[in-house]
Each structure stands twice: as structure tokens, then as C-alpha cells.
Amino acid sequence: MGRITLRVNGSAHAVDVEPETPLLYILRNDLGLQGPRFGCGLGQCGACTVIINGAAVRSCILPASSIKGEITTLEGLSSNGRLHPLQQAWIDEQVPQCGFCQNGQIMTAKAMLDKNPHPTDAEIRETMNATLCRCMTYFRVQAAIKRAAQTMGDIPPSAAKEVVA
């Protein structure tokens, strides 16, 4: 066991774990951040995706001791009670069926839009292609990404729609 300090969603957390422990289990079981989920443990499906230094990464195969940057999880996307425009687009488009994989869909889309605010259809398909959904919501996910891209281009993030409780 060793002490590892992680910066997650704006705060620092120290945990005592084996250094090779994949980040996913620390997020879920020590920090109570359960947006990222175990899908395959192989980095193949994307259900465990988090964003580190702007990149969408698969937390199920990422040793915690190797992480240097700030980690953002699904729970960290909203700010001051405001959903991220992607989350709002997911609601507006009523994207999920079961919803289990949608963490990976949203986080992968977030990393893409942060780098490329106006992706083409082909770029969306290519960037999202390794993020799997067994309910096959792909068509709706792609629609929501386009909607969010439009929203984010139209209005500054601070003016994004408030969460209605």
C-alpha cells in the first residue's frame, strides 16, 4: 500500500492503495464518484471514461500512480448547479435507453468538443467509434453532440440553461 494524492473535480484526495490500482476503483469505491463505470476492464468500451488534461482516458486500465494531471469525472461536468450543455443536450434529445454507458459517451464527446467545437459528422463518428453502447443509442448520441456543439457555439457557458429541480 502507498499513499497517492489525486486531484479530482477541483479537490485533492489522498488514498492508500497499491500503486498499480486502476483509477476506476479508487474513483468509485474510495471517492464515491460512480459516474465512471466498469464495462470491460480492458479499455475497449469506454464506460469508465474520465478526462485528464483534456483527454478522454479509460480509467479501468490506468494505474493511479501514473496520473499527473487534474481528473474530471461526469459528476464534475456541471458547475454551480448548471448542467454542462452536453448533459442538457442529452436530456433534450432523450438519448439514453438503460444509460449505463452514457458516462463514456458524454465524457468522450466533451473531450472532443473542447478540442474541436464544430466537428463534422465524420469526425463525430470517428472520435466516438470506440465508445460502445449495447442499447445502440448511437444515432441519438450523435444528434445530442451536434445539438450541444450548436448550443456551446451560440451562447457562453455561463448563460447555459439552469437545472430545473
Partner 1 sequence: MNPSRGIPKQVEEILTTHRRGFLRSAGLLMVSFATGSGARPANEDAQSSAVASAAGPYPDPDFRQLDSWIVIHENNSATFYVGKTDCGQGTGTSFRQLMADELDIAFERTACIMGSTDNTVDQGGSGGSTAMERDSWPMRRAAAEARRVLLEMGSAHLGVPVDQLTVSQAVITAKGDPSKRVTYGDLVGGKKFHVALTGANVNVVTGIAKVKPVQELKYTGQSPQRYDIPPKVDGSLKWAVDVRLPGMVHARNVKPPFACARLIGIDESSVRSLPGFLKVVSKGNYAAVVCEREEQAIRAARQLKTTWEKPAIAPFPASENLFEYMRAAKPTSSSRPIVEGNPDAAFSGAVKIIEADYEVPFQGHTAISGAHATADPSNGQMTVYSNDMKSYGMRNGIAAFLGMPRDKVRVVWMEGPQGYGRTAADDAGCEAAWIAREIGRPVRIQWMRDEETAWDTKGPAFLVKVRGALDAKGRLLAYEYNARSCDYNHVGYNEPDTVLIAQLMGSRRANPAAGSSAMPSEMYAIPNRRMVGEVVGLPLVWETPLRTGNLRDPNGPQSTFAAESFIDELAAAAKDDPLAFRMKMLTADNSDDSGFRRARSIAVLRAVSEAYGWDSRPSPGPRVKGAILSGRGVAYSFRGQTIVAQIAEVEVNRETGHVWAKRLACAHDCGLIVNPQSLRHAVECAMLHGLSRALHEEVRFDTEKITSVDWVSHPTLRHADAPGRIDVVLVNGDPNPKRSDLPPYGAGEAALKPMLAAIANAIYDATGVRIRRVPFRDDRVLAALKAAGV
Query: Which listed residue (7, 13, 41, 146) binds partner 1 by CB under 8 A?
Result: 41
**Conformational region of residue 160, where left means phi above 0, alpha means psi within -120 to 50, and beta covers everything else:** beta
Which of 36-44, 49-57, 111-119, 150-158 is the region at the interface with partner 1 (rule: CB under 8 A)?
36-44
Neighbours of 126 (CB within 10 A): 12
Name residue, grid cell 445502440. Answer: 136
Amino acid at 25: Y
Q: Three-state DSSP class for 86?
A: helix
Instruction: Give the integer Cα–Cα distance in Å for 160 and 78.
Output: 10
- The verdict on 49 binding partner 1 (CB under 8 A) reads no
Between the two ends of the chain, the Cα-to-Cα distance in Å is 42
Query: Which listed residue (4, 31, 39, 52) binds partner 1 by CB under 8 A?
Result: 39
Instruction: Give the integer Cα–Cα distance in Å for 84 and 104.
Output: 15
- The verdict on 4 binding partner 1 (CB under 8 A) reads no
- The verdict on 77 binding partner 1 (CB under 8 A) reads yes
Binding mask 95-134 for partner 1 (x = CB under 8 A): xxxxxxxxx--x--------------x--xxx-xxxxxxx
Give me the residues that bind partner 1 (CB under 8 A), please. 1, 17-18, 21-22, 25, 28-29, 32-35, 37-42, 44-45, 47, 73-75, 77-78, 83, 87, 90-91, 94-103, 106, 121, 124-126, 128-142, 163-165
